Amino acid sequence: MSSEQQPTGNSRTGDEYPTDASPDSEVPNEATSISRRRLLSGAGAIGTAFIFGKSTELAAQTEQSSPILDPSSDTSKVLGTPGTELGQRSPHEKISRFLRPGRPWTSGTPHEDLMGTITPSDLHFERHHSGVPAIDPAKYALLIHGMVDRPSVFSLDNLKHFPSVTSVHFLECAGNYPSRPDENTRPSRVAPLLSNSEWTGVPLRILLEEVGVDPDASWLIAEGQDAVKMNRSIPIEKAWDDAMIAYGQNGEPLRPEQGYPARLFNPGWEGNTSIKWLRRIEVTKQPSMTREETVRYSEYTKGNKIRQFSFVMDARSLITSPGYPETIRPGFVQIQGIAWSGRGKISQVEISVDNRKTWQPAILQEPVLSKSCTRFHFPWQWDGEPAVIWSRAKDETGYRQPSLDEHKASRDGRRGYHTNFTVGWNVGADGEVAYYPQEDWKT
């Protein structure tokens, strides 16, 4: 069968995001076009000052504006503000998730504004299908029933009295790639629906053992108490691996948009399986074949087949700097970003500064944790010539992040969920950095 004859499961007319996103992308495009020139004018001036900073004339100007010599910027002669109940970011730091008009059920993590590996909880991406429910923790109940010896109800307090575990893991939506990136696409817009947190909760296995599971049971149907009663079928093996009922995130209770007061968390798996606002687990012999595991979160693969229960998130990397809309100057440039794999630990991140002719290993910042974001650094001496920089990740199973061509070949040219190919950043002779467009998708 020729490709032209195949059904176009990814036709833009057939899904929730038909106007400007592929059906399997849950990532908003840029909402507004900010004037690149305006953004860059300030950065350019700073760069110029650095390069020629030693000239006598400019040194004199610098002296006049020196914070060291400016009494008004000396805070050491007045009392500071007292302690507060709730800390706030510096008023000088304007950092936020990004929204998109007309797309109320998602917000993205601003990766280029962050450092390290932990996503501050208030910047963790959001993806829900019908809004954030307001749940009173005193009225929270988790029902476990089905093929169990003792159908049971657990309160939030009950959950917190079971043995707990804490571990750091990323959470990534399966549809985490923009439908139509262009040169003005920022790093965060390439993978906005990814965040990394320290999660605390009770291992799901312990809860199942507590209610007594029928040895013939194979699946768990997890369901939330949001307005779509989001539900997914989970193989029971995941409970005996690392699934947990999480009630803590980064040292505090879950944020409402992350499933308060308790959620399922499946490390390394597509985000939709980690049911938020969890209210029910039914233990069964067979999957429920819910809308979210048939119509959504499935993808065309080779031979006109549709892959289902594609749980694991494959290895991926993202350069967070330099990227659009930065301007760099010749000399030392620290290339840095994050890499992650749902299969385990990141074993290597490679950087190319010559548009993929050669690759060199980046430095991995410890600790490198399983199914967690790893920060990488690469010291680059930029000679001022145009360049295209790339990153690619490899994990401990030997899996290497694919190129776009490899990715397309594995799916007969279609895109869809679980998009994880390598992306590049174009550096012009003027130091301006732009996304390197490479897509040519079958629609």
Partner 1 sequence: MKSPAQLLPKAKIIVAGSGLLFAASFSLGQEAITGSTPEDRIVVTTDQDVAIGIHPGTIEDLHDYRSNPERRSATYNLGRAATEEEISAWDIGVSPDGQGLPAGSGDSKRGAALYALHCAACHGQEGEGIPPNGALVSDGNNGKTIGSYWPYPTTVFDYIRRAMPFGTPGSLSDQEVYSITAFLLYRNDLITEDTVIDANNLPGIKMPNADKFTPDDRESYNYVH
Task: Tell me which residues in 90-119 interact with partner 1 (CB under 8 A).
Answer: 102-103
Q: What residue type is assigned to position 358 of the chain?
A: T
Query: Nearest distance from residue 284's CB to partner 1, in Å?
Result: 7
Please list, in sequence order, all residues whose beta carbon lies within 8 angstroms of the beta carbon of residue 140, skipping any fewer than 6 positions away.
155, 156, 261, 262, 279
CA geometry: angle 29, 187, 387, nearest 5 deg: 120
Query: At 243, which helix (H) or strand (E)?
Result: none
Using CB under 8 A as the binding rule, whether residue 48 contacts partner 1 is answered as no
Among 168, 171, 173, 213, binds partner 1 (CB under 8 A): 213
CB distance 31 to 423 below 8 Å = no
Using CB under 8 A as the binding rule, whether residue 5 contacts partner 1 is answered as no
Among 41, 46, 51, 161, binds partner 1 (CB under 8 A): 161
Q: Which range in 53-61, 190-198, 359-367, 400-408 contacts partner 1 by CB under 8 A?
A: 400-408
Nearer to partner 1, 16 or 354 (CB): 16
Query: At 195, which helix (H) or strand (E)?
Result: strand 194-203
Range 269-288, binding partner 1 (CB under 8 A): 269, 279-280, 282, 284-288
CB distance 271 to 172 below 8 Å = yes
Looking from the CA of 154 toward its CB, the CA atoms found within 13 Å total 26
CB distance 196 to 250 below 8 Å = no
Distance of alpha carbon 204 from the chain centroid: 24
- Give the interface size with partner 1 as a residue count (CB under 8 A): 93
Q: Which range in 76-84, 167-175, 189-197, 296-304 contacts partner 1 by CB under 8 A?
A: 296-304
Binding mask 346-375 for partner 1 (x = CB under 8 A): ------------------------------
Rounded Cα–Cα distance for residues 314 and 324 (Å): 25
Among 162, 253, 255, 359, binds partner 1 (CB under 8 A): 162
Rounded Cα–Cα distance for residues 330 and 336 (Å): 17
Using CB under 8 A as the binding rule, whether residue 305 contacts partner 1 is answered as yes
Nearer to partner 1, 112 or 292 (CB): 292
Query: Nearest distance from residue 42's CB to partner 1, in Å?
Result: 36
Among 45, 291, 334, 385, binds partner 1 (CB under 8 A): 291
Nearer to partner 1, 336 or 422 (CB): 422
Tell me the torsion sign for CA atoms 56, 61, 64, 66: negative
Q: What residue type is assigned to position 319 of the chain?
A: I
**How long, in residues, is the chain?**
443
Rounded Cα–Cα distance for residues 375 and 330 (Å): 24
Using CB under 8 A as the binding rule, whether residue 298 contacts partner 1 is answered as yes
Using CB under 8 A as the binding rule, whether residue 216 contacts partner 1 is answered as yes
Query: Nearest distance from residue 223's CB to partner 1, in Å?
Result: 7
Using CB under 8 A as the binding rule, whether residue 2 contacts partner 1 is answered as no
* Ordered alpha helix ranges (H), 111-244: 156-161, 187-190, 204-211, 237-241
Using CB under 8 A as the binding rule, whether residue 290 contacts partner 1 is answered as yes
Q: Which range in 34-42, 106-114, 144-152, 192-200 contacts partner 1 by CB under 8 A?
A: 144-152
Nearer to partner 1, 55 or 410 (CB): 410
Separation of first and last alpha carbons in the chain: 17
Q: Which range in 13-21, 113-121, 179-187, 423-431 contacts partner 1 by CB under 8 A?
A: 13-21
Rounded Cα–Cα distance for residues 309 and 299 (Å): 10
Using CB under 8 A as the binding rule, whether residue 331 contacts partner 1 is answered as no
Using CB under 8 A as the binding rule, whether residue 31 contacts partner 1 is answered as no
